[in-house]
């Protein structure tokens, strides 16, 4: 099954919820993973099942990166706030590096997330 991680900085969590609601039918066919708070919000505000890792400051992004390294992740949506990210929020640089090393797509904006999710959905239809 296609495995997708969902991560969002604090200011981007509402945008993530909006994206997940829009793509709920597509995402319901995937195995979903999220960092602590993002995953909690998704599970509370949608009908989707999502495996919750630790919150970002406690290493949830690192846990997801380990899944990338173990070839257990197909894509990551990491909606980040490039202007006002707080020190306690997950750092994208290590996660981006491991995704590049293992050729796993990571979307960091709403538009790129839509392209990645549409592509994964099309792959599943073949």
pLDDT tens per residue, range 58-104: 999 999 999 999 999 999 999 998 887 566 666 688 899 999 999 99
Full set of structural domains in the chain with CATH: 3-125 (3.40.50.1380)
* Residue set of the binding site: 9, 13, 35-38, 55-56, 88
Give yes or no: 61 in active site.
Answer: yes
- Catalytically annotated residue among 25, 61, 103, 123: 61
Residues placed in the known binding site for substrate:
9, 13, 35-38, 55-56, 88
Q: Say how far apart CA 10 and CA 21 lie, in whole Å.
A: 18
pLDDT at residue number 115: 98
Global confidence as pTM: 0.93
Contact 97, 34 (CB under 8 A): no
State the Cα–Cα distance between residues 32 and 50, nearest whole angstrom: 5
| E strands, 45-126, in order | 51-52, 75-79, 106-107
């Amino acid at each position: 099954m296609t495995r997708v991680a969902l991560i969002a900085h604090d200011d981007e969590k509402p945008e993530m919820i909006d994206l997940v609601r829009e793509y709920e039918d597509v995402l319901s066919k995937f195995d979903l993973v999220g960092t602590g708070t993002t995953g909690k919000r998704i599970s509370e505000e949608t009908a989707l099942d999502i495996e919750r890792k630790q919150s970002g400051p406690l290493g949830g992004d690192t846990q997801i990166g380990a899944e990338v390294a173990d070839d257990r992740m197909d894509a990551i949506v990491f909606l980040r706030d490039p202007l006002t990210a707080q020190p306690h929020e997950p750092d994208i640089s290590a996660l981006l590096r491991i995704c590049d090393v293992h050729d796993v797509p990571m979307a960091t904006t709403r538009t790129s997330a839509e392209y990645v999710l549409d592509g994964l959905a099309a792959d599943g239809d073949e």
